[in-house]
Amino acid sequence: GEDVEQSLFLSVREGDSSVINCTYTDSSSTYLYWYKQEPGAGLQLLTYIFSNMDMKQDQRLTVLLNKKDKHLSLRIADTQTGDSAIYFCAETYQKYSGGGADGLTFGKGTHLIIQP
Amino acid sequence: GAVVSQHPSRVICKSGTSVKIECRSLDFQATTMFWYRQFPKQSLMLMATSNEGSKATYEQGVEKDKFLINHASLTLSTLTVTSAHPEDSSFYICSARNEGANYGYTFGSGTRLTVV
């Protein structure tokens, strides 16, 4: 079955770069996503990458995709206290062989802790 | 951008009562919506896929008679937790697939259900 793995915690100093890593198993994933969840809130889509891309940059965020190793990373440059949250990696998967609606498989989330 | 409105954001109910959670896509039509449940310190677990005009598709282990899903229009899906018990207390999040956009998924802000 589908599986998405990420480490549970990452601690960085304010101003440094944060790199959150994720591995996935479904090689047929078409899109891979990074979501941010602040305490008690819903998920906020941060960025996504199409599976035929290696890299995507969006302001302070850089996503790297190594499709051969099934490894996805999210780099946050100049990490700020407002970046403190849980970050979820997710992949799409085809649930039904007949072409039914895709679902998303999430990792357990990485809790990003910012040190002053 | 695409917005999904989920209500209520927080609800407390007595054991044995039913609670309805609404998920609306505000500026796009969604033939498919997804309902997730999040346990403390765990990832989101897909409960069911809600299909407009037809029956929902439930994931293994999810009781369809307990978690009633209705997707009567292209912009509204509801999840009713029937005869709620304390173990149903959780964070429920819906998402809708924006079929007009490349990346598709928009999440509601979540509903914190507490059953006392």
Q: Among residues 11-50 of chain A, which lie with CB inside 8 Å of chain B?
A: 31, 33, 35, 40-45, 48, 50
Coil/strand/helix, residue B102: coil
Q: Which of A90-99, A106-115, B16-25, B107-116 has the lowest mean pLDDT?
A: A90-99
pLDDT of residue A42: 66
Residue A43 to residue A88: CA distance in whole angstroms:
9
- Max Cα distance, chain B (Å): 42
Has residue A101 got a pLDDT over 70? no
The mean pLDDT value for A63-84 works out to 96
Antiparallel, parallel or unpaired: β A55-58 and A61-66? antiparallel
Degrees (nearest 5) of the Cα angle A44, A92, A28?
150
Has residue A102 got a pLDDT over 60? no
Residue A114 to residue A24: CA distance in whole angstroms:
26
**Chains A, B: CB pairs < 8 Å:** 52
pLDDT of residue A91: 84
Percent of chain B with pLDDT over 90: 47
Q: How many other CB atoms are there within 10 angstroms of residue A114's CB atom?
A: 19
Residue B64 to residue B52: CA distance in whole angstroms:
16
Judge contact between B17 and B71, C-beta under 8 A.
no
Cβ–Cβ contact B60 with A under 8 A: no
Which residues in chain B have their CB less than 8 angstroms from residue A107's CB?
43
Residue A59 to residue A80: CA distance in whole angstroms:
14
More confidently predicted of A100 and A57? A57
Q: Among residues 76-95 of chain B, which lie with CB inside 8 Å of chain A?
A: 93, 95
The mean pLDDT value for A48-55 works out to 90
Degrees (nearest 5) of the Cα angle A78, B1, A92?
75
Q: Which of A3-12, A78-87, B7-16, B101-110 has the lowest mean pLDDT?
A: B101-110
Collect the ranges in chain B with pLDDT lower than 70.
1, 41-43, 99-105
